[in-house]
Amino acid sequence: MSKMNKKNNFTYSVSGDNLEDDFTSSIDIDKQMYEEDIRGSIAHTQMLAKQQIITKKDKEKIISGLLAIKKEILSNKFEWKSSLEDIHMNIESRLYDHIGEIAGKLHTARSRNDQVATDVRMWTKKICVQIISKIAELQSSFVKIAEKNIDTILPGYTHMQKGQPISLAHHFLAYYEMLKRDLNRFQQVYSSADVMILGSGALSGVNYPVDREWLAKELDFSKISNNSMDGVSDRDFIVEFINACSLVMTHLSRFSEEIIIWSSEEFQFIKISDKFSTGSSMMPQKRNPDYAELVRGKTGSVFGSLFGMFTILKGLPLTYNRDLQEDKKHLFESAATTIKCLDVTDGIIQNIKINKDTMLSSAKNSFILATDIADYLVNKGIPFRESYVIISNLTKELTKKNIMISELTINDYKKYSQYFEEDILNLSLETAIESKNSVGGTAKKIVEKALSQAKKEIKITTDQYEKN
């Protein structure tokens, strides 16, 4: 139903018998798009005047009123009204208060449908830049801690079982690579959102000589939409955005899981700073990895938003439907959660203490060199599968006798194969690591090269986005 605001003759729709019924209202959520909404309205007004659809005098009054409203919002003097449903109607209604009936000309050649679609795209582009910068900062932190731990040795795991020795730097750089893919995904989302929708009207275009190309340039869009119906109803870019958030949260959650395990009394590989851990309310000896746990837990909320968006979109006929009002809740919450978790993870890394000796001891007190011993026999001419069986039998017997590989003599080795020679005793955690010198391996020179490349990539990203 429609109600008339008699003070300014401003018509708006409400749901229910009570004007304050907030069931249809989205203002508590979409008011954070005020900057985009005002910017879009100013550009639209300028275009209308340029095309002589409104006068220059009207343009100046409208823009003056919009800037006054922006000032009110920034100074927390603006009264947000749920009865006016959304950010667009709140601002337009207030514009009537400032400049009177001329405010009605702002909506010429524009619908809320193409207005909100443009606003949310501008907001998404802005937040993509913020997240890209946050990811680059986190990458930098991983690189810095990796540089300090090139020579730090720890077990590499598969199935949470010790597999092969690696450098801690190599381990941290794995997360750098994950984040690099995340960064690329947000760049792709930026491109998907970089389409200007104004000029599409409610669904079929507008009856005025609007200059959409000028609007796109003014609002920093590289493209304009090709189909008005698709333009006002497309929310694929939001799905892509939340999907990108879901993947970066997945990576942060994986790291959090390792932090939680590594900080446990059973591992003691690391110590989390008191800034990012909390004490128990009952057990005074404990420090809980609460921040890492919360990152892990909040990941599920972002996943939920992704599924929520798919559910909203799956049954919508063309074009705009009120269901789409719910898209911003998922968009904004996913963005806020992702940014906060990126900051927390960065803080954890910057303040973490690495227990190098514990990591090294864990690697030494194991059969982690078994694969390298098998490869030794392969290099002596034995087929790998045969070598595998030999070393498997060796480790089984040593386990029964509670003997470590480092305790073996050359005579002990020869009991299992005559192909063993004195040089097998030269095998160590260090030599095993250095032998992994294929591209992408854990050998020191490979890791150093990866670090150098990572720093170059981070600089490129930082230089590209620092202005934002």
The residue type found at 194 is: D
b/e per residue 441-463 (b: at least 16 CB within 10 A): bbbbebbeebbeebeebbeebee
d(CA 344, CA 292) in angstroms, rounded, equals 8
- C-beta of residue 35 within 8 angstroms of C-beta of residue 87: no
Query: For the CA atoms of 227, 232, 233, 236, what is the dihedral angle to 10 degrees?
Result: 80
Residue 159 annotated to the active site? yes
Question: What are the angstrom distances between the C-alpha of 235 and each of 44, 227, 238, 384?
Answer: 22, 14, 5, 53
Phi/psi for 270 (5° steps) reads -140, 165
d(CA 226, CA 220) in angstroms, rounded, equals 17
Considering the candidates 280, 301, 392, 406, report the single residue annotated as catalytic: 280
Considering the candidates 75, 159, 281, 438, report the single residue annotated as catalytic: 159
Neighbours of 147 (CB within 10 A): 15
Question: What are the angstrom distances between the C-alpha of 414 and each of 180, 187, 377, 400?
Answer: 47, 58, 12, 19
Bridge partners of residue 153, in order along the sequence? 167
Q: How many CA atoms lie within 13 A of 64 on its CB side?
A: 11
Residue 13 annotated to the active site? no
User: Beta-strand (E) ranges in 325-414?
Assistant: 353-354
d(CA 301, CA 299) in angstroms, rounded, equals 5
Instruction: Tell me the catalytic residues.
Output: 159, 280
